[in-house]
Chains A and B, each alone.
Chain A
């Protein structure tokens, strides 16, 4: 009975994190972007600084008619948002937030599982782009695919570097093995990982697949109402997942800069702080950088990030053997 309760509790916690953290990031984005651009952002909904804006948006999306274009491939079109969203929920299972079993399910091949499942999310964009039977959607979908192929590799290599340093594929094991000087040792890998993850989420400055000034909204052009909302949710859960993974792999997860027992700050607090700090960086980059052109995107990946990631692998290998 207690087992069933515990499993239920874990499932509920995952679902709560899945539904609230993206809203917090979204609200932070509204406000941070507004202030960086010298405006207020939403101020009306809910009274205090428009805190209920995203809830109101959700209600609006849920009330809108569900349109499927006559020319579209109906089944694939309708399925695409779910395929784009659910992988990010599944990834949350393996992300540790606190020491001593502070993870929904400890997986031996955690890092491998997480990267594999995250890659599935992009299939949602590809399905949406193809099934919409719209030229802009098709272009957007193909751009998504090109971007995934270019950035998945540096993403994978940078993650492999941490696995080498820690000598384990388990995410909790990696955080346990992590020491502060890894910040410097794994710095190039960490930067590559974060940039490549940003590109996989198609966040600005890597938002070529949804470039609104040239292809409307890319693969999501034909979507309305709840299906569109699910794609948006997927983007923001994606930010949380990327921030959490960078935290776990490169920033020491639940470990704080000073003895946490003394200050009474539990590991979860550190994890969440780092996740929010990185999410803020994601938002910040969106405001700061212009969109990269398609050829610049490919060049950055193949001639910039991949060589750096390979060099990081070599560095990690030499240092790991030297200290063992």
Chain B
């Protein structure tokens, strides 16, 4: 289990352990539980009264702009990680630091713009 990808072999194994844990739990559950399907139990729960309309109702996604903002910022933020490992290394120093401030300034201006536009208020 050497090398960059070799390390992920154990991750795969743990994923298998997780899947088998869930499988075993449900197998035990199947043996222990009663099974009497149907009836009122299968009705959608709506505080005790019969459900009105269907569950997949239309709703107003107030935060779709937040979603856009998030995508923009998250994609930017990913670039921070590889840069973070070397920016203070010998031979980089001040120049990389200035570059970081340019990068942060772009992010901040974006956030300020959204703020000023009133996008960040929940309306």
Are A and B bound to each other?
Answer: yes
Check A295 against B122 for contact (C-beta < 8 Å): yes
Residues of chain A contacted by B21 (CB below 8 angstroms): 15, 89
Q: Which of A108, A153, A226, A320 contacts B7 (CB 8 A)?
A: A108
Q: A295-B121, A321-B97 are in contact. Are A104 and B55 (CB under 8 A)?
A: no
Check B87 against A226 for contact (C-beta < 8 Å): no
Interface bits A94-108 vs B (CB < 8 Å: 1, else 0): 100000000011111
Residues of chain B contacted by A44 (CB below 8 angstroms): none
Residue in B closest to A161 when the chains form the complex, CB atoms = B84
- Is A65 part of the binding interface, using a Cβ–Cβ cutoff of 8 Å? yes
Check A164 against B13 for contact (C-beta < 8 Å): no
Check B84 against A169 for contact (C-beta < 8 Å): yes
Check B121 against A107 for contact (C-beta < 8 Å): no
- Is A239 part of the binding interface, using a Cβ–Cβ cutoff of 8 Å? no
Complex: how many Å from CA A321 to CA B70?
29
Residues of chain A contacted by B33 (CB below 8 angstroms): 62-66, 225
Check B18 against A307 for contact (C-beta < 8 Å): no
Complex: how many Å from CA A216 to CA B43?
16
Check B70 against A152 for contact (C-beta < 8 Å): yes
Q: Which of A66, A86, A150, A314 contacts B66 (CB 8 A)?
A: A150
The smallest C-beta distance from B27 to any residue of chain A, in angstroms, reads: 11
Q: A132-B55, A138-B59, A160-B80 are in contact. Are A93 and B11 (CB under 8 A)?
A: yes
Check B84 against A70 for contact (C-beta < 8 Å): no
Residues of chain A contacted by B34 (CB below 8 angstroms): 65
- Is B89 part of the binding interface, using a Cβ–Cβ cutoff of 8 Å? yes
Q: Which of B11, B18, B30, B77 contacts A156 (CB 8 A)?
A: B77
- Is A294 part of the binding interface, using a Cβ–Cβ cutoff of 8 Å? yes
The smallest C-beta distance from B67 to any residue of chain A, in angstroms, reads: 6
Check A105 against B10 for contact (C-beta < 8 Å): yes
Q: Which of B35, B84, B120 contacts A167 (CB 8 A)?
A: B84
In B56-104, the 8 Å CB interface with A consists of: 56-57, 59, 61, 63, 66-67, 69-70, 73-74, 77, 80-81, 84-90, 93-94, 96-97, 100-101, 104
- Is A310 part of the binding interface, using a Cβ–Cβ cutoff of 8 Å? yes
- Is B42 part of the binding interface, using a Cβ–Cβ cutoff of 8 Å? yes
In A31-71, the 8 Å CB interface with B consists of: 62-71
Complex: how many Å from CA A132 to CA B46?
12
Complex: how many Å from CA A169 to CA B84?
8
- Is B113 part of the binding interface, using a Cβ–Cβ cutoff of 8 Å? no
Residue in B closest to A66 when the chains form the complex, CB atoms = B33
Check B42 against A313 for contact (C-beta < 8 Å): no
Residue in A closest to B77 when the chains form the complex, CB atoms = A156
Q: A134-B55, A167-B89, A302-B120 are in contact. Are A86 and B18 (CB under 8 A)?
A: yes
Check A314 against B74 for contact (C-beta < 8 Å): no
Interface bits B36-58 vs A (CB < 8 Å: 1, else 0): 10000111111100010011110
Complex: how many Å from CA A60 to CA B36?
17
Residues of chain B contacted by A71 (CB below 8 angstroms): 44, 51, 54-55
Residues of chain A contacted by B86 (CB below 8 angstroms): 167
Q: A70-B43, A107-B7 are in contact. Are A313 and B100 (CB under 8 A)?
A: yes
Check A160 against B10 for contact (C-beta < 8 Å): no
Residue in B closest to A88 when the chains form the complex, CB atoms = B18
Residues of chain A contacted by B121 (CB below 8 angstroms): 295, 299
Q: List 13 A-B contacts (CB under 8 A).
A: A64-B33, A65-B36, A65-B41, A66-B29, A86-B15, A106-B7, A108-B4, A153-B70, A163-B84, A167-B86, A302-B114, A317-B87, A320-B87
